[in-house]
Structure 1
Amino acid sequence: MAKEKKTPSITDLDALKVFAHPLRIALYRHLRTAEAATASQLAEQVDEAVALVSYHLRRMAAHGFLVEAPELSTDGRERWWKLASDRGWSFRSSDFTGDPEGAAVVGQVTRHLLATRAERYSAYLDQQAAWPEEWTDAAFSSEYTPRLTAAELAGLGEEIAALVQRYGERGRAAEAAGDTTGREHVALHLYGFPYRSSGGTA
């Protein structure tokens, strides 16, 4: 049985600080979609100078988030980059909130991630009329409010992650076998957090 891959977890504050810059999150997202790209290609995607993009790519690489892909270079003059892990990355707030700086960085990164996710979903809503009906019917936005313990919420998150991983591996295996028809990148945004009623209604 193949060993289950785990999502790399950031536990070093300097590494987490890499994503306190929104442009780096944007570059990372573009690389995740493209699988590999040069600084010039990414600069066009984010409408920034190539030199600036190169600097941010090197910063991410220095902390192990990206690696060079020299096998993709045809002339050796321009660097190709790809993600170091196809599982992305994660972090736990409790690893950083013991000091004010760590708490501030966690807040920055989390809010940047939330903003980019909202931006991506808003873009889909603006463009959904251009998607075939099978995709607009398949797309979903749901909210659930179960009463759980912290341990149950953690377990729910682990089960969801395992389910998404199985679908991701199924898709990669199908693509590797040449089954690419009808396959698109899919964004799945999930949040699980405690809250207390303030007396309002949904």
Structure 2
Amino acid sequence: MPPSEEPRRITDVGTLKALAHPLRANLYRLLCVERVATASQLAERVDEAVSLVSYHLRKLAEHGLIEAAPPQTGDARERWWQAASDGVAIRDQDFRGEPGRAAAHLAATRLFHDQRTDRYRRYLDERATWSPEWNTASIDSESWMRLTPTELTALKDELVAVLRRYDERGRAAEAAGGTEQREHVALHVYGFPFRD
């Protein structure tokens, strides 16, 4: 069964804490990128023992974040995994009002942002190994605007729609055999108010 095409909205602290473990967050992200993988394949990618990776995959599965995927080979001993949905949505408003819930959301958000920063730093360190075309195509920009909450929400919705369109286009091209020059791409966009 293919994963749901909609992001799963996480609203409970237990699921948030299950995902907000550094290794589990990385494993979940890898499954979203690779689409299907075994514990052995993932263990090799994260440089951890297969038994440890299997344990954390089971924890993610207990919370419905990942699920068993159809076998990809004839080897019945292999257990394949996939994300249960097309990503997750974690919204501030679902964790407000109670200090414990707010603290869990803050800790998870900081972990996810730290991991994103680490990934971008790795790209910067490896930049010389990428072709000039990839280095020209990469994005690193800041925008300073004066917006209302309504305008920022509209901007966010438009950006998400554009991202989904490009993701769908890339998946369709890949399914049709168009893999030449296709690489995984991470795009992090932050939009938040601030005061000097």
TM-score (norm 1): 0.90
Secondary structure of the 2:147 match is coil
Secondary structure of the 2:71 match is helix
Q: Which residue does the alignment assign to 1:16?
A: 16
> Aligned-pair RMSD on alpha carbons?
1.3
Q: Which residue does the alignment assign to 1:32?
A: 32
CA contact (8 A) 2:9 2:89 kept: yes
CA contact (8 A) 1:68 1:80 kept: yes
Deviation at 1:76, TM superposition (A): 1.7
Secondary structure of the 1:60 match is helix
Letter in 1 for 2:88: W
Output the CA distance in 1 between the equivalents of 2:27 and 2:172: 26
Deviation at 1:43, TM superposition (A): 1.4
Divergent runs of 4+, >6 A = none
CA contact (8 A) 2:10 2:90 kept: yes
Output one character per residue of 1:123-176: Cα deviation in whole Å (capped at 9) or x when no partner.
111111111111101111011111111111111111100000001111111111
Output the CA distance in 2 between the equivalents of 1:22 and 1:108: 11
Q: Which residue does the alignment assign to 2:148?
A: 149
Structure 1 stretches lacking a partner, 5+ long: 198-202
Secondary structure of the 2:82 match is strand
Letter in 1 for 2:54: S
CA contact (8 A) 1:73 1:80 kept: no
Output the CA distance in 1 between the equivalents of 2:178 and 2:145: 38
Q: Which residue does the alignment assign to 1:116?
A: 115
Whether 2:160 is the aligned partner of 1:135: answer no
Output the CA distance in 1 between the equivalents of 2:72 and 2:174: 20
Structure 2 stretches lacking a partner, 5+ long: none
Deviation at 1:73, TM superposition (A): 4.5
Identity percentage over the alignment? 54
Q: Which residue does the alignment assign to 1:196?
A: 195
Output the CA distance in 1 between the equivalents of 2:126 and 2:167: 24
